[in-house]
Structure 1
């Protein structure tokens, strides 16, 4: 994948200001909205079942996040997804904590079976638990484990029938046939709550402007990772609080030149450093 094309997609997000409809968790709502604004997208948080179908219809993308799920919210998610599917609006699903509890796992599986999902983005344990693979999870956090994450991404994409992005130290994005690896980002992202949730919404922003969903997903991960690296470099002596604020700054500042210079992406075994 050419880094110049990724840079162009970032500029397209900023040019078109896509509306991203988020049904997300209460912990990350503010950070997600600010992150999307910083990037150049337009966030909306609409949860009531009475309005989600209408909102999803006019959005550029719908993002579903089960971080603090409850039955009413699940109902609203399914209504919104049905509307998005009917109107060719891409649906991004973040299965936060899938595997931690029966309700959470069954909800994640219900969503991917009931709706046409464009992208599922999560960590290895969450993705594994959706498809019934054995992977340890603690609360809503999980280590990468000892499994083959690239193979897991490919298998999950085949079973779910959509693009699967497993993010961690390295990010693997697969459509079930081709698998990309992205090696951008920084470990301090794991010290700030909501960075994974925001990433899912950023994937939504790119999917709103790029019809080729796997290209959109990879472009989002590279852009996000480069911004994180730049923010970490600016705040390495200060800690996660300073990083969180600077990360929002860098989401706004990251340029096409930065993407081409620092982006690291390729198909498996063929990584290309820009």
Structure 2
């Protein structure tokens, strides 16, 4: 059905430049994740240059974790240029249900038709217009509980939707896949999910089918999480081990068998 190992090879061969509009908490870790995985990050977010930079980036990722009106303006400008240049872009709707500013920003960005939406179950349920149990940035719903909403959202938005958690779910509204792996330590390291969004952008830049690109990114992350957990004593040692593992994962280690049709 899918071939994450081939996607990995394509991403590393392209070494794509990814514009990451992400939050203050995630910038350093997300940049290091992209470098370790084989891509090139650029943390360019201000409205004065975000659109201009989007015209030269191979992919754009937008994370609403730490919002301000000026940052939102930069996001909208970059997404508008990405739409005009057919540049793939990924939306990470962090805690989109929590405040009016987040709801408004998410609605505006969704209208600009992101190529891929990656969020936890509560975020995806909220964007799909359903009740969620999320509190703050944490999911209060299971991935399984959000799968039907994800399929509906993908169909209505024309986007690939990835619901990430213990077992990830990816859909384009017709096709669906589960990606297994990772480690229980991953949610204990801040910015892990934000960094996954950036890596998804790197794969989207190099793999023509965004459904396959998303699966490739999730499989790479899952394989690295498994590998890092064997070398870590806890969250503190997991973070550097994870960066090492992202670089070490190869076409064999990524494990095509971790992906199952849904």
Instruction: Within 5 Å, give how 1:114-263 maps onto structure 2.
Output: 115-145=112-142, 148-235=145-232, 238-260=233-255, 263=257
TM-score (norm 1): 0.92
In structure 2, the partner of 1:265 is 259
Q: Does the 8 Å contact 1:125/1:143 carry over to 2?
A: yes
In the TM superposition, residue 146 of structure 1 has moved relative to its aligned partner by: 8.7
1:135 & 1:10 partners in 2: Cα distance? 34
Q: Does the 8 Å contact 2:143/2:168 carry over to 1?
A: no
In the TM superposition, residue 14 of structure 1 has moved relative to its aligned partner by: 1.6
Query: Per chain length, whose mean CA-contact separation is higher, i.e. which structure has more relative contact order (CA < 8 Å, sep 6+)?
Result: 2
2:71 & 2:24 partners in 1: Cα distance? 11
Gap regions ≥5 residues in structure 1: 269-274
In the TM superposition, residue 145 of structure 1 has moved relative to its aligned partner by: 4.3
Gap regions ≥5 residues in structure 2: none
Deviations 1:9-31 (A, max 9, x none): 21222222100001110000000
**DSSP-derived class of the 2:55 partner:** helix
Aligned CA distance change for structure 1 residues 32 and 146 (closer, same or farther; 3 Å):
closer
Deviations 1:130-173 (A, max 9, x none): 12100111111123249622212211212222100000111110
TM-score (norm 2): 0.96
Aligned residues: 262
Q: Does the 8 Å contact 2:177/2:260 carry over to 1?
A: yes
In structure 2, the partner of 1:90 is 88
| Structure 1 segments (4+ residues) deviating >3 Å | none
In structure 2, the partner of 1:22 is 20
